[in-house]
Amino acid sequence: MDMRVAAVRRDKLKFHLVMLGCAGFVVLALASLVYVCSRPQTADVQASERAAINQCLQRSRAPERTEIYRRAQADSCAEMLEQYEHKFGADDAS
């Protein structure tokens, strides 16, 4: 009987250690995400994002593309522009 109790305790300990490891991983992942998102944006990052939006807009106007492609591309460009304005401010988006 004591062996069964010891086995159950050992299994519970293993379970709790695994859960603690998972919780530690989640905390570490969230902390690294917060770190990456909270870092200040450089002028180079801003310029490259602006260039990506301009390139997107050019592709959305390409006459050799289908209308469906151009419309989908324009929607993507609008989303990129919205995120750019949120990140850098509406004044910098023009």
Average pLDDT over residues 8-29: 96
Distance of alpha carbon 37 from alpha carbon 86, whole angstroms: 13
Portion of the chain with pLDDT greater than 70, in percent: 95
Average pLDDT, the chain: 90
Q: What is the mean pLDDT of residues 21-50?
A: 90
pLDDT at 93 over 80: no
Task: Find the helix or strand (DSSP H, E) in which 59 lies.
Answer: helix 43-60
pTM as predicted:
0.56
2 or 85, which is more confident? 85
| Banded pLDDT at 3 (limits 50, 70, 90) | confident
Please name the helix (run of DSSP H) or strand (run of DSSP E) that holds residue 89, with its range, or none.
none
Q: Cα dist. 4→11, 18, 38, 47, 93 in Å?
A: 10, 21, 51, 66, 68
